[in-house]
Structure 1
Amino acid sequence: MTENTTTAPKGPTQDAYNAACTALWAHRDRADRLAATLADIGAWRHLQPHTAGPEFGPLDAILDAVSVDEAAALPVIAEPTSLQEAVTAYREVMNARRRHLAASRLVWDHIEAAAIRGIDRNMPHGRG
C-alpha cells in the first residue's frame, strides 16, 4: 500500500486572498464616489429657488432618504488579514447594499404612488 505524499493547500491561495481584498476595496471606492455624487446633487438642490419645490419633489424624497440612511452608513472595511475576514467583510458590504436598495425601493414606491395620486386627482371622474 502506498501512502499519498501530496497534500492540498490547507487554505486559500495568496492570489484568492488578494482578489478578495481588491474586490472589497472596489466596492468601497464605488460607494465613496456615489456618496460624493449625492452630496454634490444635494448641494445643487439647495441652491435652487424654494418656489421650484414641486418640480423637485421626487429628487427631494431621494435626498431625504439618503440623509436618513446615512445613520446606517456602509460598514468601514478594515484591511482583512485572512480570507475568512475578507469573506465576512464582503458579506457585510452585500448586506448593507441590500438594505440601501430596499430603502431606495421604498422611496421610489412613494414617488410612484404620489404620481398615481396626481393622475387620479386630474382625471375626470364624471359618468360617461
Structure 2
Amino acid sequence: METNTPPRGRTVHHTANAALWAQHDRANTLAAALDAVRAWRLTRPNSVELAPLDAVLDAVAVGDDVPLLRLQATTLPEAVAGHRAVLDARKRAFDALGLVWDQVEAASMRAIDERLHDREGDA
C-alpha cells in the first residue's frame, strides 16, 4: 500500500527549513524597520531623550560589519570566529536592551516620585 506522505525525516527537514526561512524573513523585516527608524533618527537633532534609541540602533547595526545571517564557515577556526561574532552581537544587543529598560525604569520611578510629592502637597 502506497501513501502520499513523505518519510518522517523528510517532513522534519522541510519543517525545519520552513522555520529557518520564516526567521530569515522576520529578520529581514526587522532590519528594514530598523533602517527606517535609523533614517528617521538622522533627521532629529541630538537629544538626551533619544540616547536609548541610539544605543539600540548602534547595537543592531552589525549587518554592515558582521554579516551574521550569511556566515558560511568552511573551517573550524572560521566557525569558531563566526560563533564569537554572533555572541558579541548578542551581548551588544542585550546591553542596549538593558539600557533601554534602565531608562524606562528610571522614568517610571520619577513618575512615582512626582505623584508622591503631588499627594504630599495636597495634604
TM-score (norm 2): 0.55
Residue 51 of structure 2: which of 57, 65, 87 is its match? 57
Distance 1:76 1:46 in 2: 27
Residue of 96, 99, 123 corresponding to 1:107: 96
For residue 106 of structure 1, report the CA deviation from its aligned partner.
Answer: 1.2
Q: Per-residue CA shift, 1:66-125, capped at 9, x if unaligned?
A: 22x2222332389xxxxxxxxxxxxx9xx94x6544322112334538x86xx9xxxxxx
Task: Identify the residue that residue 32 of structure 2 maps to in structure 1.
Answer: 36
Q: What is the CA RMSD across the aligned residues, in angstroms?
A: 3.4
Query: 2-side partners of 1:29 and 1:77: how far apart?
Result: 16
Identity %: 29
Residue 72 of structure 1 aligns to a residue whose secondary structure is coil
Counterpart of 2:21 in structure 1 is 25
Q: Which amino acid aligns with 1:20?
A: A
Separation (CA, whole Å) in 2 of partners of 1:20 and 1:63: 30
Paired position in structure 2 for 1:5: none
Gaps of 5+ in 1: 1-10, 79-91, 120-128
The structure whose Rg is larger is: 1
Higher relative contact order (CA 8 A, sep 6+): 1
Q: What secondary structure is seen at the aligned counterpart in 1 of 2:70?
A: coil
Please report the TM-score for the alignment, with normalisation by the length of structure 1: 0.53
CA-to-partner distance for each residue in 1:6-52, whole Å, 9 max, x for gaps?
Answer: xxxxx96221111111111011001000100000000111112x2x5
Matches within 5 A, 1:1-128: 13-48=9-44, 50=45, 52-67=46-61, 69-70=62-63, 71-76=65-70, 96=86, 100-111=89-100, 112=102
In the alignment of these two chains, the number of paired residues is 88
